[in-house]
């Protein structure tokens, strides 16, 4: 009787989850085009004037999608620049072919290939949080594609501790998918808002952020599992690539906050800036993790400063 009750409950939760997935995907449909890369599909939104200098490629962190980079920063930049926003593999409306597509190395290769399909030879990359490791990997393995790198509260080095027990469980075989396809979405409705608010501290989360950023898409089982894989494999990835950071020669600007509790500046941004020869570090004493939301005008100014410095070098090379 107990077993039958448990099975019945799981079936009902699975049906609720599938209904929730349909509702979420209707509420937050794709906004751009799909590009086939390495057996996966990358969702790309291309906005702004195409003729205005080097394009700006924006890559989001964990537990999010391209809308986190689009509002307000991407839209602000797109008034004067071509902006390419990409859902990382497995996030938003992008898919991934394999579980191993969770590493910065593989995602860098996929994004490089997608940009090649778009005809973009070189770009300024703006990366946030988890994608700090991805931006570094692009600079290491695909330097010809990267004109400059702007890193916002980036993850770059291994840290003490894990990434949350629930993520570790979700990344496990059998039990992870079982939970993801039954309880994650119903439970997530109650905790998404508070979780997002905590990431913004000490800043206040803007009204409507969860809806405007399409954050509920994360609750879909396949994306929740992909996000968990990204997180549980990240420490080993940055540990493996950190020794190569001295090879990065392109211009890098890093903006981070002193009180950021999500990605600690002393563990990531400062050591990275000390290792990369052409890195410039800006640390603000009252800035939290959501740099692109808290100081978009500052980020825009730093991107445009980088473009201005790169332009003469690019003209000389041409």
The tens digit of pLDDT for each residue in 45-92 reads: 999 998 878 999 999 999 999 999 999 999 999 999 999 999 999 999
pLDDT band at 170 (very low <50, low <70, confident <90, very high): very high
pLDDT band at 116 (very low <50, low <70, confident <90, very high): very high
Domain of residue 221 covers 2-317
Residue whose C-alpha is closest to residue 262's, from 61, 58, 86, 71: 61
pLDDT digits (tens, 9 = 90+) for 10-47: 889 999 999 999 999 999 999 999 999 989 999 999 99
Find how far residue 58's CA is from the centre of its chain.
8
SS3 at position 45: strand
The pLDDT assigned to 9 comes to: 84
Q: Which residues contact 188 (CB under 8 A, 6 or more apart)?
A: 216, 218, 219, 224
pLDDT digits (tens, 9 = 90+) for 243-270: 999 999 999 999 999 999 999 999 999 9
Torsions phi, psi for 252 (to 5 deg): -135, 135
CB contact at 8 A, 257 and 293:
no
Residues of the chain with pLDDT > 70, as a percent, come to 97
pLDDT band at 314 (very low <50, low <70, confident <90, very high): low
Torsions phi, psi for 147 (to 5 deg): -80, -30
The pLDDT assigned to 312 comes to: 66
Distances (CA, A) of 155 to 130, 242, 318: 5, 11, 34
Rounded CA-CA distance 201/198 in Å is 5
Rounded CA-CA distance 259/267 in Å is 13
Number of independent structural domains in the chain: 1
Ramachandran bin of 279, using left for φ above 0, alpha for ψ from -120 to 50, beta for the remaining angles: beta
Residue 72 burial (CB count, 10 A) = 15
The CATH number for 138's domain is 3.40.50.1820
CB contact at 8 A, 129 and 193:
no
pLDDT mean across residues, the chain: 94
Rounded CA-CA distance 133/231 in Å is 12
**Does pLDDT of 118 surpass 70?**
yes
Rounded CA-CA distance 89/37 in Å is 10
Rounded CA-CA distance 38/97 in Å is 7
**Does pLDDT of 316 surpass 60?**
no
The pLDDT assigned to 317 comes to: 52
Rounded CA-CA distance 141/208 in Å is 38
């Amino acid at each position: 009787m107990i077993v039958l009750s448990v099975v019945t409950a799981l079936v009902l939760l699975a049906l609720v989850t599938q209904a929730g997935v349909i509702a979420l995907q209707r509420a937050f449909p794709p906004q751009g085009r799909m590009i086939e890369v390495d057996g996966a599909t990358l969702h790309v939104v291309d906005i702004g004037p195409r003729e205005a200098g080097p394009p700006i490629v924006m890559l989001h962190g964990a537990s999010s999608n391209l809308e986190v980079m689009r509002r307000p920063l991407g839209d602000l930049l797109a008034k004067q620049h071509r902006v390419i926003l990409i859902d990382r593999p497995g996030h938003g409306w992008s898919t991934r072919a394999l579980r191993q597509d969770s590493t910065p190395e593989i995602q860098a290769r996929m994004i490089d290939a997608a940009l090649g399909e778009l005809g973009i030879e070189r770009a300024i990359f703006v990366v946030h949080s988890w994608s700090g490791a991805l931006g570094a990997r692009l600079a290491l393995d695909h330097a010809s594609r990267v004109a400059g790198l702007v890193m916002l509260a980036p993850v770059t080095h291994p840290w003490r501790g894990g990434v949350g027990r629930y993520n570790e469980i979700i990344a496990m075989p059998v039990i992870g998918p079982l939970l993801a396809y039954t309880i994650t979405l119903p439970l997530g409705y109650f905790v998404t808002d508070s979780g997002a608010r905590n990431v913004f501290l000490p800043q206040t989360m803007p009204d409507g952020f969860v809806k405007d950023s399409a954050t509920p898409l994360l609750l879909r089982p396949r994306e929740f599992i992909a996000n968990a894989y990204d997180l549980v494999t990240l420490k080993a990835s940055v540990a493996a690539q950190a020794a190569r950071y001295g090879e990065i020669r392109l211009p890098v600007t890093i903006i981070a906050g002193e009180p950021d509790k999500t990605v600690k500046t002393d563990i990531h941004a400062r050591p990275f800036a000390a290792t990369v020869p052409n890195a410039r570090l800006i640390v603000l004493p009252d800035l939290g993790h959501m740099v692109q939301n808290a100081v978009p005008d500052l980020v825009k100014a730093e991107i445009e400063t980088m473009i201005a410095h790169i332009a003469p070098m690019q003209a000389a090379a041409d």
